[in-house]
Every structure is written in C-alpha cells, then in structure tokens.
Amino acid sequence: MDVELEVQKCSRCERDSLVHQPYSGLHLCGVHLAESVRKRISKSLRKQLILPKNSINSLGRPFKVLIAISGGKDSAILLHFLHDILGSRRDVELIAGVVDEGIEGYRSPSMDCAQELCSSLGIPLERISYPDLSFPEMDDVVESLPKISESNLEARGMMPCSFCGVFRRQGLNSLANRVGADIMALGHNLDDVAQSVLMNLQKGEVDRTVRLAPHTTIPIDGLAPRIVPLRWIPEQEIHAVAIHLNLPIHHGDCPHAGGAMRQRSRDIIATIEKDIPGSRHGLVQSMDRIRELAANSENGTTVQSCERCGEPTSRPICQSCTMKEWFE
Ligand code: SF4
Ligand SMILES: [Zn+2]
Ligand SMILES: [Zn+2]
C-alpha cells in the first residue's frame, strides 16, 4: 500500500512544520515553535515574577532564582529559556538544583545531562540526595514498601511516587535554604498541571488545588514561593523544542513510575485533549479561578507548622516526618 505522507508547512514560514497545535490551529516549524515557547515563558514570567528594575537587595546581593532541574526535557527547557531571558541581568542570579532520589540506572545518566547543560550555560549546579535529608533512597523505599504497608494503615496502597514527591519537595526546600533562594522555578508543563488539577479535584482536595504553584500572586505563608513558567506549554511542544535546540536531555523513564495514579490521569487528559482541543488550558484556567475565589474569601487555607520539623503542613505532624517514622 502506498501511503503518501504530506508534510505540512509552518503557518509562519516556508519550512516544514514540526508540531501541530490543534488548540490554536497553527502548524509551527522548529524556529517558530521555539520563538512561540519563549514568548509564552516570558509572558508567564512577567505575571509570576515581578522584579523591580534593580533587584539587588539591601545587603548588596542579587535576587536569587533556584531552578529545579532533573536532566529531563522540561527542566532543560526551563533552564535554557530562563538563562536566555534573565541571564544578562546583573541583579538576578540563576542557580540550578537537582535532587538525587537514589534510583539505580536512572538518576546517574540524567544527572550527567543536567551537569552538561549547566556547564554549557555557566550556571552553578547544587545537589542534594535523599540520605542527605535522612530519607532512604528510592530503591530502598520500593524494597521496604510491602513491610511498611503491613505495619502502617495509612501507608497501605501508597505508590513509590507518593514518597518520592514528599521527599523531593523537602529536598528542594532544603536546597533553597542552602543557596538563600528568593524564589524557586519548577518545570511543570501544561499537561503536568492539568493532571494535578484533575487528580486533586477527583479526590475532593480543593485546598491542594489552591496551594499548587505559582505562589507569587497568592502567597501561602511559610512556603518558599514557587513559580512555574512552563505552565501553559504542552509537553509535546517542550519535547519538540528540546530536540530542535539539541539540549542534552535524558529520555529514560523511572523504573518505579509504573502504576502511578499520575499515569492514569495522564491518559485521561490526553484523551479529553484529543477529543476537545483546549481542555488542558480549560482545566488550568478553572484552577486559577478557584484560586482567585479562595484568595478573596475570608476562610482561606490554614497552614500550621509541623510539631517535629517546623515545616508548613496542614496537620500536626507533616507527611515527610510521618514517612520518616515509617522507615525507622
Ligand atoms: S516516577 Fe515516581 S519514583 Fe520515579 S522519580 Fe518520579 S516521583 Fe520518583
Ligand atoms: Zn516557521
Ligand atoms: Zn515535619
């Protein structure tokens, strides 16, 4: 059977198209996609990161942005464009941070990619591992999971990612403290955010929805402010731009990712986006609206301090301290 593949042209130039955006109707080549991604990141940054003309503080030091990277495509794009957009400002300092989860065969090659990218951009890279934070490595978590679920009711049915998410968050907070970061940038893309919105709403966790990053316009007490400049960029476009720009990225999947609730949510989001292009944008816009309403209402979310570690939490003992106890 002869299949004739017609290559679409870019809507802006004569080059072949690299991606189709069903939600906008555009076809874009690598150059124009990269330009469009940069524009959207700049726009998000202007909303989420309001910097004065001179951000040198009273101690004479620049405004520090910790950029959480992993060696994957999203954070590579984040680092590349933040460097592109903010890199020439003398009053802003960019520092990259990576958390080593202790996953054999996965973390080491992605760490190499992260290091390569940082070196090429001249950005310092800070590392922290789970044992540095008194947590077990993820490979050990997975091994002891059956035992832990046996003796702790709350841990029953928990997936490796539930632990990893809590530990990584602590790792990033700790890196932010170490470097004295004024703000932290995370590489969550449009698909990630839409998945999180869906999962939180599915579980009735509106408070969590309200607490999702970005934290700059609706600051939440006690949490290091986080910005998410890629929140309007679909994963597929990030991937295409990372390849187009030839960024060093690790393509492997984490061996512990299987079966996660996120994976199911990913499939659902992909399906509804295919049926009704623009659904992901709609979910994130709904979240923003809920946040606005919550910010205007008097009984906003209450954050207290953990009795053991002092980290902000919605219960007396925070989840990471609870988990630490399970492994002791
Ligand atoms: S997939 Fe899960 S276990 Fe693996 S690195 Fe991500 S959060 Fe951690
Ligand atoms: Zn083009
Ligand atoms: Zn705690």
Tokens matching residue 143: 């091994």
Nearest CA, atom 3, ligand 1: 161
- pLDDT score recorded for residue 66: 97
74 within ligand 1 shell (Cβ under 6 A)? no
Residue (of 187, 199, 165, 205) closest to 241 by Cα position: 187
- How many angstroms is it from 165 CA to the middle of ligand 1? 7
Whether 1 is in a domain gets the answer: no
- The percent of residues in the chain predicted with pLDDT above 90, rounded, is 65
Query: Looking at the predicted structure, is the pLDDT value of residue 320 above 60?
Result: yes
Give tens-digit pLDDT for 179-203.
Answer: 999 999 999 999 999 999 999 998 8
Q: Is the pLDDT of residue 19 over 80?
A: yes
Give the pLDDT confidence score for residue 2 in this predicted structure: 53
d(Cα 326, Cα 153) in Å, to the nearest integer?
A: 11
Task: For residue 127, tell me if it sits in a domain.
Answer: yes
Query: Which residue matches tokens 């109707």?
Result: 25
**Ligand 1 centroid from CA 168, angstroms:** 9
- Kindly state whether residue 178 falls inside one of the protein's structural domains: yes
Question: With 60 as the cut, is the pLDDT of residue 219 above it?
Answer: no
- Tally of domains in the chain: 1
Higher local confidence (pLDDT), 84 or 327: 84
Instruction: Supply the pLDDT for residue 21.
Output: 94
pLDDT above 80 (res 239): yes
Q: Which atom of ligand 1 is nearest to the CA of 164?
A: 8
User: Is there an atom of ligand 1 within 6 Å of 249 CB?
Assistant: no
CA–CA separation, 238 vs 230, rounded Å? 9
The answer as to whether 82 is a domain residue is yes
Strand order in the sheet with 226-227: 125-129, 92-100, 63-68, 183-185, 226-227
Q: Which amino acid is at 49?
A: L
Q: Is the CB of 280 under 6 A from ligand 1?
A: no
Does position 297 have pLDDT exceeding 90, yes or no? no
- Residue span of the structural domain in which 276 resides: 41-50+59-297
Q: Are strands 125-129 and 92-100 parallel, antiparallel or unpaired?
A: parallel
- Computed over every residue of the chain, the mean pLDDT equals 90
The pLDDT, as a whole number, for residue 137 is 96
Residue type at 175 in one-letter notation: L
As a whole number of angstroms, the distance between CA 142 and CA 167 comes to 14
Q: Where are the beta strands (DSSP E) in 177-309?
A: 183-185, 226-227, 304-305
242-287 pLDDT, tens per residue? 999 999 999 888 888 866 677 889 999 999 999 999 999 999 999 9
Residue 82 clears pLDDT 90, i.e. is over it: yes
| Token reading at 168 | 């990584």
Give pLDDT, residue 217.
58
- Return residues with CB closer than 5 A to ligand 3 (ion): 306, 308-309, 311, 318, 321
Q: Is 18 in the pocket of ligand 1 (CB under 6 A)?
A: no
Q: Confidence band (pLDDT; 50, 70, 90) for 59?
A: confident
> Which string of b and e fits 118-142 if b means at least 16 CB within 10 Å?
beeeebebbebbbeebebbbbbebb
* CA 293/CA 303 separation, integer angstroms: 18
Question: Would you state the pLDDT for residue 304?
Answer: 81
State percent of the chain over pLDDT 70.
Answer: 93
**3-state secondary structure at position 28:** strand
Average pLDDT over residues 237-241: 98
Output the pTM of the full model.
0.91
Mean predicted confidence (pLDDT) in 97-106: 94
More confident call, 270 vs 155: 270
Q: Whose CA is nearest to atom 7 of ligand 1?
A: 161
**Inter-axis angle of helices 73-86 and 235-244, to 10 degrees?**
70
319 is a domain residue: no
| Alpha carbon distance 280, 96 (integer Å) | 28
Q: Is residue 212 part of a domain?
A: yes
Mean pLDDT lowest among 29-43, 237-251, 293-307: 293-307
* CATH code where residue 72 lies: 3.40.50.620
Q: Please check the confidence at residue 75 and state whether its pLDDT lies above 90.
A: yes
214 Cβ below 6 A of ligand 1:
no
Work out which ligand 1 atom sits closest to the CA atom of 142.
3
The H-or-E segment that residue 93 falls in is strand 92-100
35 within some domain = no
pLDDT at res. 3 = 56
